[in-house]
Structure 1
Amino acid sequence: MNAASGGPAGVRQAIVVDELGIAIGVHEAYRLKSAYRPLFSKEGDKLVPIGVKASTVPFTGGKQIAFADFRAGLNPADMSGVIGLCSALGLANYRHVGIDGLDLWVGYHPILNGELSPWLDETVDADDYEVLPRPRRLVCEFDASEEHRQALIGHGGTLREKGFGVAIGVFGSKHLAETEFGLSGPDIVRVEAGWFAQAYQDAATARLLGTVISRLRHRGIRVLVEGIASPGHLRVAHKCGADLFQGDYLAPAALGGTVFELEPLSIRRLLDEPYRVTRHLG
């Protein structure tokens, strides 16, 4: 079976459903499973669950492989079909998160050319969508590459008109300065884990990050800091003024079908707790 066959209409044929009702994508010898990582918003002295970020975990021969390795081996002609399928799987398996009304972040790729709805429309039956847990809003996430920054300029406004949220990853203040924040700009900027790690290690970088976050928030853009793996990481992200938080210290990623028990987290307690990470993915 080939996920790329038939474009958006071929998504249903590329999805099989296991005995637990979990949708799995099929592309040649690969089985594609969904994973979700919780996102938290700062509200007073609490971190409140606000969304989950969907990702795709490829398996072949029963073994998990890195998504980058899987994508590197794709036939270019199959790319749009596979990327569309991955986004569709994120929505199809959201029901298993078991929490209604969270934002659902799905990866966006420029090859989709501003179109995401056709892939998602092929995933969930209308009758089911009315009764199953469903996301409050879909957020299309662009990565930090030049290709994606240019696609944001071209497609961001179109996606927003269709009701999607728009987010983009950034790495460093120079990269941020090169990103357009006009009418087609993002609702959310994601500070990538590598840049945040530098801010955690270097006080000058942390001050710069705080200035950048303040400037973005002044423009009405929310800021997500990812890669929070310890109380120290949380302390720096909180001090820099981040709006949204993500990382293993708060809640690890888990494959679709895992029961999420997401409750508001006390920032004060998290800052006082020893390092704690529970891994759900190998």
Structure 2
Amino acid sequence: VAPSIFFGGVPASDRLFVETMCRMLHLGNYRNIGLEGLTLFFNYNPMINDHLGRALAEIRLMTRHLGDFELEPALLVCEITEQAADDHVLASLVREMRRDGIRIAIDDFGTGHSTEARIKLLAPDIVKIDGAWFGALCRHAAAERFFRPLVGMLQERGAKVLVEGIENAQHLRVALEGGADLLQGFHLARPALAGTIFKEEPLSVDALLDAGNKVVPLHQQR
């Protein structure tokens, strides 16, 4: 089931429980990846839990149990999703997580409420560029020229820039020439289940940028 369908069908009275349960399952799966020291991103939807006291209690409960999951706070990055939120609640929540050593990311920058105003409010460690927005930008001939100043502005504010939605060589080229720090997308790797054996060898940038290579090996044996 697609996440949008699943979460869209959760009754309002159950959303906080389901959101918390999914987050804890996600943290619990960390040990099943099989590689140490990987950064683990998790989402926080400010619309689901907008009561300051409950939100802080939830984060404190999660932090207390990180040892059970063999996780250190420094390995975690909390993605603040693009929904509207009370600025006071959001700022207090971010301060609490930073006090524990958890880093902050703003998700889907360029859409919804993930705007420059939210950058100023939260001073994130990482800004994730929305994949759909980035894909539309890459259709312009001068995409690199337009993208580079945005990346520079975010980096000057102390954030690393992660580009989502890298689906082809053109997307990768624009992101690299724009100065992006981190990359994510199907052109680089597909999602995999926890417990999958990951290839740890670095990817070849030259091969990934070779958009003209259309040769596909065929199996001769029927």
Same fold by TM-score greater than 0.5: yes
Aligned partner of 1:209: which letter? F
Separation in 1, partners of 2:45, 2:168: 31
Gaps of 5+ in 1: 1-64, 277-282
Contact 1:96–1:257 (Cα < 8 Å) also in 2:
yes
What's the counterpart of residue 219 of structure 2? none
RMSD: 2.9
TM-score when normalising by structure 1: 0.64
* Number of positions where the alignment pairs a residue of Structure 1 with one of Structure 2: 206
Aligned partner of 1:96: which letter? N
TM-score when normalising by structure 2: 0.80
What's the counterpart of residue 220 of structure 2? none
Residues 258, 72 of structure 1: CA spacing in aligned structure 2 closer, same or farther, 3 A cutoff? same
What's the counterpart of residue 59 of structure 1? none
What's the counterpart of residue 81 of structure 1? 17
Gaps of 5+ in 2: 216-222
Query: Helix, strand or coil for the counterpart of 1:189?
Result: strand
Greater RCO, CA 8 A, separation 6+: 1
Q: Percent identity?
A: 35
What's the counterpart of residue 192 of structure 1? 130
Matches within 5 A, 1:1-282: 65-110=1-46, 111=49, 113-114=55-56, 115-119=58-62, 121-122=64-65, 125=68, 129=70, 137-147=75-85, 152-169=90-107, 170-171=109-110, 176-182=115-121, 184-204=122-142, 206-272=144-210, 274=213
Contact 1:231–1:272 (Cα < 8 Å) also in 2:
yes
Aligned partner of 1:167: which letter? A
Residues 204, 151 of structure 1: CA spacing in aligned structure 2 closer, same or farther, 3 A cutoff? farther
Contact 2:106–2:114 (Cα < 8 Å) also in 1:
no
Residues 175, 79 of structure 1: CA spacing in aligned structure 2 closer, same or farther, 3 A cutoff? closer
Contact 1:88–1:120 (Cα < 8 Å) also in 2:
no
Contact 2:165–2:185 (Cα < 8 Å) also in 1:
yes
- Greater fraction of residues in strand: 1
